[in-house]
Amino acid sequence: MTLGWHPAPLRKLKSNFRFTGYTRGMISKIASFSTMVLLAAGCFAADAPGFKVTKRYPVPGDGGFDYIVFDGSANRLYVSHGTQMDVLDADSGKVLGKVEPTPGVHGAAIVPELHRGFVTNGGDATVSVFDTNTFKTIKKIPVAKDPDFVFYDPKTKRVLVCHGDGEVITAIDPAKETVIGEVKLGGGAEAGVVDGKGNGFVNLEESAQVVQFDPASLAVKQKYPITGCKTPTGLAMDKANSRLFIGCRSKVLAVMDATNGKVITTLPIGERVDAVAFDADNHLIFASNGGGTVSVVHQKSANEYESVGDIETQKSAKTMAMDPKSKRLFLSAAEMEASGGGRPKPKPGTFTVLVVERN
pLDDT (tens digit, 0 to 9) for every residue of the chain, 359 residues total?
333 323 333 323 333 333 333 334 443 443 444 444 333 433 334 554 689 999 999 999 989 999 999 999 999 999 999 999 999 999 999 999 999 999 999 999 999 999 999 999 999 999 999 999 999 999 999 999 999 999 999 999 999 999 999 999 999 999 999 999 999 999 999 999 999 999 999 999 999 999 999 999 999 999 999 999 999 999 999 999 999 999 999 999 999 999 999 999 999 999 999 999 999 999 999 999 999 999 999 999 999 999 999 999 999 999 999 999 999 999 999 999 987 777 889 999 999 999 999 98
Q: What is the pLDDT of residue 90?
A: 98
Q: How many CB atoms are closer than 10 A to CB 117? A: 29
Report domain extents, the chain.
50-58+232-359
CATH number for the domain running over 50-58+232-359? 2.130.10.10
CB 135 within 8 A of CB 84: no
Count, in order, helices (H) and strands (E) of the chain.
2, 30
Q: CA–CA separation, 181 vs 186, rounded Å?
A: 16
Q: Sheet containing 320-322: which strands, arranged edge to edge?
A: 51-58, 352-358, 329-333, 320-322
